[in-house]
Structure 1
Amino acid sequence: MKNFKQWFTEKLTYSKRKTLIPVSSGIKLRQNFYTLSDKRFLKAKIADERDVDHILQIEKLCYNGHTPWDRIAVLHEIRYNKNAFYIILHNENEEPIAFVGAWFVMAEAHITNIATIPDYEKQGIGTYLLKEIIYIAEEEKMKKVTLEVRVSNHTAQSLYYTLGFKEGRLKKGYYAKDNEDALEMIYLLDKNKRLMKES
């Protein structure tokens, strides 16, 4: 969380915007549902304060009971950070399945976190969420989408490469808990816009 706050502060320092309108108030999903291979549907929406505990529930299932972003942090993002928003997916029983968080600052869309509960992994949900962020970034006239990924997380890196992300700089000791390095990955919208619209 500390590294995300530093990124946000640096970006906002150079922003010339006088009044911040919440980015979540003007965005629309390209597709507000996702179809699983067994023909069941997952419902997607922009998260609000009622979804904070659902986001924490997903985190706990994905990170061995831990919440890398605790309740205060997630609530602050949704309630006060006008540059931030989350997309959350629920199944037909209203159980939370996956989410993605992002900050839109200046011309950069930065993905802060993405997670899918273990029972629903390898069903294309992460790809769907990333494509929704890229679509929204295009609509909001962003120039690039960025994220950080653990250098050891080759599965996630493979997904990002498949979608058109390229390697950026290596961030040494980025993850506070274990000091693992992070690889920055960048999706340049000008070069990839036509590809995303065709997919």
Structure 2
Amino acid sequence: MKIKSNALPIELSSPFYDKNKTFCSTFEHYIASKNGKVKGIYNAYSYLVYGKIINPKPWNLIYKKSTFTSTGNLLLSSESQSLLVLAEWKTELKGTYTSEVKIRKRKRLDSFILHFNKSLSILDITDKYIIYSKGESIRVLKSIIEILKPLFVSGEIYKVELINEKLNIELRSKQHHFDILDKLLVL
């Protein structure tokens, strides 16, 4: 299945429609280059696209953009609109069942909580993130963190979870970051 437009005729001349169409087309071509499958919709205000890559192991990808504006003006700059832009990358990592790891952005109270909870620590790469870990430390986690390092530094990582052999990486980014995803695909 392909990614399709659900835009109204008035949206077709919007620069935001063109940006979203280009974003979705790039996503579609990337997934096709990996012999994967895509589906989704887009218009001038939003997109919601899904991709599934099978080899070398199954990965499910979601990219979502929602624009919330009360005026409905297709010519407003994106800075004057409220946006939710996210990406989720999910896979299974067999053999990590003894570990539970969550990495998320730091909150104000975390400095206080760090003193009492020995399962929490600050991520070495940047102090903007907290790591919660329970169970054995695994080598693949170090590889994942190293691959994601540019996204941690830029603050685009929203959270990373490895629970019950399921890896979930969630970003808040307007970029595809296929260069980083390519490195994760071979883990």
TM-score (normalizing by structure 1)? 0.29
Give the structure with the higher percent helix.
1
